[in-house]
Structure 1
Amino acid sequence: MAPNSGLTHPYQQQLSRTVCQNSSLQNVKSDLEVALHRAFSIGNRPYKAATVVFINWSNDDMGVVQRQEELAEVFRDKLHYRTEFYTIKTEDEHMHFNIVQWLLNLAKVRGGKDSLIILMYSGYGQTVPDDSGRNEFIIGGDSNYMAYNFKGPPTSLSWHQAVSIVETHAGDVLHILDSDHSGYMVVNDGPEILAATSPVGQISFSSVLRDTLHSLNGSPVSASGLFARVCQQLHASGLEEMPVYVPNLRQKTSVILHSLAPDSITSLAQTPPKDVPKSGIRLLITVHVADSINPELMIQFKSWLSKEIPSICDSVKVEVQGSSSIGSSSLLLLTIPIEMWYYLPMGKKYTYLAIVRSGIVTDLN
C-alpha cells in the first residue's frame, strides 16, 4: 500500500502556481481570519437535505459492503441523512454510462440549493498520471487488473469522470474515499475530499469514520474538523496511514455535517454555530513576514490573536511561540489548530514544522 502524507499542503506536489512571497503582518491576520472561517464553517447555512451515496463493486472480496452498511446506519440514525447504494457490475460493458446516468438522476432529485451529497467509495483503487501529468484516481473491481497495469478485461473507472456530474446539480459535495492510493488523488480546484488507505485485513477508514461520527452524536462538525478528529485517534484506531484532507478552494467554507433532526435544524438556522467540535491537535508552523516586527508590534499582534480569534470561534487559539528578525523581514513561530492548515495560502510564506499533542512537539515523520 502506498503511504499517505496527511499534512502535505493541498496541491503542492501537483500545481505550478506563483509562490507566495513574504507579506505584511496585516496580510497574515487576514489569512488567519479567512482560514478560521473556512475551516470551521462559521456562519454556514444548515442543509435542508443530505444524501450519502455508497459506491462499491459487485465482486466485493474485502467486506466493504458490510462496513459501508455500518457507516450508513450512523448517517441515518445520528444525522438523519438519506442513504443510497450503487453497486458497479464488473461484467457491465456500459458501467461508465450507467453510473453517470444513475448519479445524474439522483442529483436532480436530491440536489439543489441548501443540499449536501456525500459520495463514498470503498474498494480497490490506483492513481495514474493523466495527459497533464496530474494523478487521476482509478477505481477497480479486480485487484489483479489494478496490480498489473490495467491488463486484461476492463474493470475500472475514472472516479472523477464517473461522479463529477453530481457537482453540477448539488449544493455541496463531499468525497470520502476508503481505497488504495486515494490519498494521492489531488485535484486542481476540485471537490472537497477525505481519504485514507488501510492495509487489507486491518481496520478500515470507513470503520473509523463510523466510530467518530457515532461519538459526535449529531453535533455539527466541518469536514476539516472530522479529518482532524480521525488524525487525533490515528494510533488508537488502528489506521496505519495518516488520512488526507483536500479542501474545495472554490467554496467559502468547508462542508459541515450536522443532524437534520427538526430541533437541530431550528437551532442551527437561528444561530450559526460559533463553537463547533475541535480535535485539539495543533500544528507548529513558521510564517515569513515582510515587516520587521519590533516588540511593540509583537505585543499588538499577540493581543489581536487573543481577542479577535476567539471572538470568531470559541476556544480556538492561534499562539505565537517565538519570532526572529531576518534583515528587514521577520520569521514567526505559531501554533494553530490542524483544521486551519489547509486553508492557509499555498507557498513558502507558511511552512509546516511539526504536530503538537498536549504541549509536546512530535515530528510526523
Structure 2
Amino acid sequence: MRTSKTPDSFQAHQARKRLDQFSTDLETAINHATKFKPYRKTAVIAFHWENDDIGVQLLERELLDVFKSVYGFETESFTIPLIESQFKLLERLVSWSRRSSGEDTLRIFVYSGHAGFAGTVDSRWDLAGKCDQNTGNLQGPKLNWWEVRGYLEQYTGEVCYLFDCCSAGSGALGAYDGAEFMAASTWDQAAVSNVHFSFTRILIDELRRLNGQAETLAGIYARIFRYAQQNQIGAAPIHIPKLNSPSATIGRSRSRPVTRSVDRESYRVLLSIKVREEIPLDFTQWKEWLARNIPANVLSTKVTVEGAFRGSSLLLFTVPIEIWTMMPADDPSYTFIGHVTSHNLLSQPPTQTSALTSTLPMRSGAPSGRENQPPRSPDRKPFGSPGR
C-alpha cells in the first residue's frame, strides 16, 4: 500500500532519551561547533582534471590564494593526468599527506570537477574531468575516490575535505573513516557550472569576509547555508562532521576568534525529541523542570523549546545550524522537521512567555520543511548530472 506517511508514524514506542542525556548531547554539539583549536600548521592541496571541461582552475587558484595570503596556509595544486589517473593521484596525495602530517596539524583536500552518483550500497564513487551534458554520463578516464580516500587519513593530524561537484555528499558514504567533510551538494543532487553561484565561489567570499579570523568549519558551513538563497547558490551545501570530534578550526595562526551573532531571522533547524520523563502540566513546574536540566551555556546559544504537548513526552525545539550539524546523526530519538527563520508564531501569552526568558522559552506548534533542499532555479546548469 502506498502512503506518504513515514514508517516512524506507525511506531507507538519510539526511542526515548532522558532529559539529562538531551542536555549532554546539546552541550557536546555546542562545544564541538564553537571550540577553537590552534594548529601548528595547516596545509591545503587542491586537485582537478587535465581534461576539465568546466573551467575550475581560476576559482581553484583564487581559493588557494585566499588560503595562502589571507590565512597563511601552505598550499599546493595538482592536475590529475589522463593516464594512470587513480594511481598518480593517490601517489601525489599520499606523498603530500606524509610531508604535511604531524601533531597539531590540519590537512585540507579540495576537489573541483565532475562526479558520478553513488548510493549507500555502491562499492565505488567515480570522479572524472568530463561529462555528457545530455545523458549525465561521465566521459574519459575515471577514478574511484573511495579507494584513494582510505590512505589519506592514516597520517597524524586532522583531515577535512572540501568537494565542489555533483553528488558531493557521496564522498562521505561507503567505508567512511569519519574525517570532516563539507561539500557542494548531497549525494543525490547536482551542483552548478556557473562559477558565480558555485560552492567554491561562495566559500571564497565567506573566507574573505572572515579575513583570517578563527572559525570552525561547522560555523563556516552555517554561514554559507544561512545565506544560500540570497547568494543564489545553485545547490544547498552539506556538512558531515567527524564522529565524536570537534569541528576543524579555519584561521590564521594566533588569530582572533570570530564574534558570532546570529541574525534573528536567519535559518534555524526545527527538531523533535522523545523524552522519557513525563512533561509536567503545570506551567510553573515546567519552567522549573527545564531550569534544572538545561545548563547555562546551552541557553546562550539560543536553543529554544518551541512546543510541548499534554499527555505526550514529545518536545519541539530549534537550534542554530552549526549546533544541529554537530548533533548525533544516527540517534533515533531525534527527528529533523525542517528549517525555519523564526520561532513559533503561535506563541504563549506575554505573561507566560516572559516568565521563561531566563531559561528556555516554550512555544507551541511549528512549521515543517525539507532538509538541505531550497528551491532550485530551472535554468541552473549542473556540473554534470549524476553518472549512471
TM-score class, shorter-chain normalisation, is 0.7 to 0.9
Alpha-carbon RMSD: 2.8
What is the aligned partner in structure 1 of residue 301 from structure 2? 316
Q: Aligned ranges for residues 277-296 of structure 1 at < 5 Å? A: 281-294=267-280, 295=282, 296=285
Q: 1:278 to 1:57 in 2, by over 3 A?
A: farther
Displacement of 1:278: 5.8
Query: Counterpart of 1:144 in structure 2: which amino acid?
Result: D
2:246 paired residue among 242, 246, 253 = 253
Counterpart contact for 2:214–2:258, Cα < 8 Å:
no
Query: Counterpart of 1:103 in structure 2: which amino acid?
Result: L
Q: 1:156 to 1:181 in 2, by over 3 A?
A: same
Counting matched residue pairs gives: 323
Alpha-carbon separation, structure 1, partners of 2:53 and 2:293: 55
Alpha-carbon separation, structure 1, partners of 2:161 and 2:74: 16
Displacement of 1:191: 2.0
1:348 lines up with 2:325 in the alignment: no
Q: Which moved more, 1:162-171 or 1:103-112?
A: 162-171
What SS class does the counterpart of residue 278 from structure 2 fall into?
coil
Displacement of 1:323: 0.9
Aligned structure 1 segments of 4 or more residues deviating by more than 4 angstroms? 145-150, 273-280, 358-362
Q: 1:276 to 1:111 in 2, by over 3 A?
A: farther
1:31 lines up with 2:18 in the alignment: no
2:193 paired residue among 200, 218, 241 = 200
1:334 paired residue among 295, 317, 322 = 317
Displacement of 1:362: 7.1
TM-score by length of 1: 0.80
1:127 paired residue among 117, 122, 140 = 117
What SS class does the counterpart of residue 109 from structure 1 fall into?
helix
1:172 lines up with 2:158 in the alignment: yes
Q: Deviations over 1:62-94 (max 9, x none)?
A: 11000101111111122111110010012x1x2
Q: Aligned ranges for residues 1-365 of structure 1 at < 5 Å? A: 21-40=15-34, 42=35, 44-90=36-82, 92=83, 94-129=84-119, 133-134=121-122, 136-144=124-132, 155-187=141-173, 188-197=176-185, 198-201=191-194, 203-249=197-243, 251-260=244-253, 263-264=254-255, 281-294=267-280, 295=282, 296-302=285-291, 305=294, 307-309=296-298, 315-326=300-311, 330-345=313-328, 346-359=330-343, 363-364=369-370
Unaligned stretches of 5+ residues in structure 1? 1-18, 268-272
What SS class does the counterpart of residue 284 from structure 1 fall into?
strand
What SS class does the counterpart of residue 193 from structure 1 fall into?
strand
Q: Which moved more, 1:297-306 or 1:70-79?
A: 297-306
Query: Counterpart of 2:288 in structure 1: which amino acid?
Result: I
Q: 1:145 to 1:200 in 2, by over 3 A?
A: closer
The structure richer in helix per residue is: 1
Query: Counterpart of 2:128 in structure 1: which amino acid?
Result: G
Alpha-carbon separation, structure 1, partners of 2:168 and 2:153: 19
Alpha-carbon separation, structure 1, partners of 2:136 and 2:304: 50
Displacement of 1:274: 9.7
Displacement of 1:165: 2.0
Q: 1:353 to 1:107 in 2, by over 3 A?
A: same
Q: Deviations over 1:309-361 (max 9, x none)?
A: 25xxxx512111221244xx511111111112233232331112222225476
What SS class does the counterpart of residue 206 from structure 2 fall into?
helix
Unaligned stretches of 5+ residues in structure 2? 1-12, 186-190, 346-366, 374-388
The structure richer in strand per residue is: 1
Alpha-carbon separation, structure 2, partners of 1:89 and 1:193: 25
Counterpart contact for 2:107–2:159, Cα < 8 Å:
yes
Q: Which has the higher contact order (CA 8 A, sep 6+)?
A: 1
Counterpart contact for 2:180–2:242, Cα < 8 Å:
yes
TM-score by length of 2: 0.75
Query: Larger Cα Rg: Structure 1 or Structure 2?
Result: 2
Q: Deviations over 1:210-232 (max 9, x none)?
A: 00010011111111111111111
Alpha-carbon separation, structure 1, partners of 2:66 and 2:228: 20
Query: Counterpart of 2:305 in structure 1: which amino acid?
Result: V
Counterpart contact for 1:344–1:350, Cα < 8 Å:
no
Alpha-carbon separation, structure 2, partners of 1:274 and 1:234: 20
Percentage identity across aligned positions? 27
